[in-house]
A and B are shown apart, each in its own frame.
Chain A
Amino acid sequence: MNRSMDTAAVALITLDKMPFKMAGRIAHVDWTLLAERDARRLRELGVDEGVAVEKLHKGPFGIDPIACRIGRMIVALRTAQAAAIAVEPDTAQ
């Protein structure tokens, strides 16, 4: 998928690069970046366009894993998977 088209209107940021405590909505998910199994698990955990996200915590020893609020759940994932999720940050930050 061509990401530059999506970023035309608003600045998108992938979930792995998003600062902690920032909230937004999932603008789009590049499923092609994900292994089939990981993609299915993410869908099952509620990852979809339009869903509210908030980046909450990070693991203590390095960059992985991270904990995010996705919809009404808190989900732990690694940055490799988070990189496939593009977020449109809330403007009222």
Chain B
Amino acid sequence: MTPTPLVALVGNPNAGKSALFNALTGARQKVGNYPGVTVERKSGRMALADGRPVEMLDLPGTYSLTPSSPDEAVTHDVLLGRQEGERLPSGLLIVIDATNLDNHLRFALQLIALGLPCVVALNMIDMAKRDGLKIDVAQLSAELGVPVIPTVAVRRRGIDELKVAIGNLAVSGALAIRPSDPAIHEDVVTLQRRARAIAVAATTEEDFKRRWTHRADAVALHPIIGPILLAAILFLMFQAVFSWAATPADLIDGVIGSLGDAVAAAMPPGLLRSLIVEGIIAGVGAVVVFLPQILILFFFILLLEATGYMVRAAFIMDHLMARVGLSGRAFIPLLSSFACAIPGIMATRTIDDAKDRLTTILIAPLMTCSARLPVYAVIIAAFIPDRSVLPGVGLQGLVLFGLYILGVAGAMLAAFILRRTVTKGPPPGFMMEMPRYQVPIMRDVALGLWQRALIFLRRAGTIIAFTTVILWVLVSYPKPPVGYTRPAIDYSIAGRIANSLEPVVRPIGFNRDIALALIPAMAAREVAVSALATVYAINDGDEDRQAKSLVGRLQGRWSLPTALAFLVWFVFAPQCISTIAVVRRETNGWKWTSFMLAYLFALAYVGAGVTYWASIALGL
């Protein structure tokens, strides 16, 4: 049996490659990872007109076969058959932007010279027409020596023709690669000049103008309106995360609650029921509740990327980022980190400067991710009075905003210091193509959200479920002997660990219960809330373990300085096992990972301590 032919989609960034990939494969996509790197491997099945299946592989966009960033390296390695865990593609689908032939043809020439069977998709042909360009497709095809199919991926035009052309490729077996072909190693300038000659020969230019993008940039990049617009978009984004997510989150909460009740009613009381209801359903449920917030954040980020605005945001922020030794490019992963540091850290792979990238990875966990929200929400509700300081500005909201700012300020300070010490190097340049503005294709945005949701739920179903069960075991065992007078939790393994940890955290105002909650919260920050709820519920000896009543319990037990110190701790502490794992994978080892853990914990310890003692001194 011959394996399904593998056809790789390659092209410059902004060629519309992903839209074409979505149009060809629909929702039949698989998102995975290449071994050893966090570059996502996106593949999907496509059926040819005669029913033959073809596996399509979406490679990261790159400008040439000389890689400068990790994701470009994957493209390079796959095309030369050197990527671990990937077979050599049996054909290439080269995607080029019809409005930018000079530039995209250069990479296409390099790809054609590889010697694999090729088809060129001349994408965004409608935009080229609108820009006043007329392209002679037959001549272009003759010059390149490969079939050229005009397409409009976003309108699904030319897709059938493209499938026929892919079917016509000799996809049964890859031709031998010819790495000695001069064009592969030819320098960029020579290739560029050849590309330009071909582009000029095939194009009749009438009146080239990108009016749309031009006009939009006059506003978006205006020295005064631009930053205001960016601030407004970010404000709207965070506003939406809080207000839009409330209803679906309540709904999910209700469903999980009734599921727990139903299981509790259906099962006989005992260990297994306790494990399933209090361990798995409550633990995983506490995390799944944040799905709406995470999806709303990702919705905005996908939208900003799909419209072409994200690069403009990076442009506006570049100068400010340069002050702390980073570049505007770092703004994009840092913005994603507000949703979750994991995709944020993965997005750093587009940064080509190694030191710039490393610094961005090290500070990404300081961006207030959505997992901190439940912690902040509970503590703020319990200790910050619900009154307004200004018309329309509540004190609780202000404190929450302050925590976000504290995270950003900490990140900037950390970057500033890191870039002058351990990640010292020449200042990173800032060179980015600013793509044309586009109306986002909602189908593609929805597909992206769907993939994010699946990844999140898979994580909740595995790592969170696992740690919750471990916590449940640690808190429940060993059972105290008959006649044990203190709370049962003191006798458990978790209780003993917390007792030995307590002297360490006492100077920063933390009590033993907090020490106990911090241990399972290493898995994920939000676990701190359910852990505190469990600890106090077990202590109080009642069955109601809802976070609502946790607010009341905290008020009686914690002082205000302790609560504030706890909040500040969570601004800085790197309590997320998934982030640690991603950092380890991204930085190729434990060296920088341990460094990050050490500096963030130190920052958290000092920050919480200062907050605690300052609050006491202020008489709070």
Contact = CB atoms under 8 A, between A and B. Distances in A.
14 contacts: A35-B426, A40-B68, A43-B188, A48-B192, A56-B221, A57-B217, A65-B315, A65-B430, A72-B101, A72-B102, A72-B103, A76-B314, A78-B430, A80-B429
B337 interface: no
Nearest to B226: A60
B210 to A, nearest CB: 8
A73 B102 CA distance: 10
A79 to B, nearest CB: 10
B100 A73 contact: yes
Contact of A76 (B192, B224, B318, B322): B318
Interface in B406-460: 426, 429-434
B615 interface: no
B431 A72 contact: no
A68 to B, nearest CB: 10
* Interface size range of chain B in the complex: 35 or more
B319 A48 contact: no
B352 interface: yes
Contacts of A61: 227, 319-320
Interface of B (DSSP majority class)? helix
Nearest to B12: A44
Interface residues of A, number: 31
Given A76-B432, A77-B431, A48 B189 contact: yes
Given A37-B353, A67-B221, 9 more contacts: A42-B431, A43-B189, A44-B64, A45-B433, A59-B316, A65-B318, A67-B434, A76-B432, A78-B429
Interface of A: 35, 37-38, 40-46, 48, 56-62, 64-65, 67, 71-78, 80-81
B224 A60 contact: yes
A41 B72 CA distance: 13
- Cβ-closest 3 pairs across A and B: A44-B63, A43-B188, A57-B221
A43 B217 contact: no
A41 B68 contact: yes
B328 A72 contact: no
B31 to A, nearest CB: 27
B223 A60 contact: yes
Interface in B52-68: 63-64, 66, 68
Contacts of B431: 38, 41-42, 45, 75-78, 81
Nearest to A44: B63
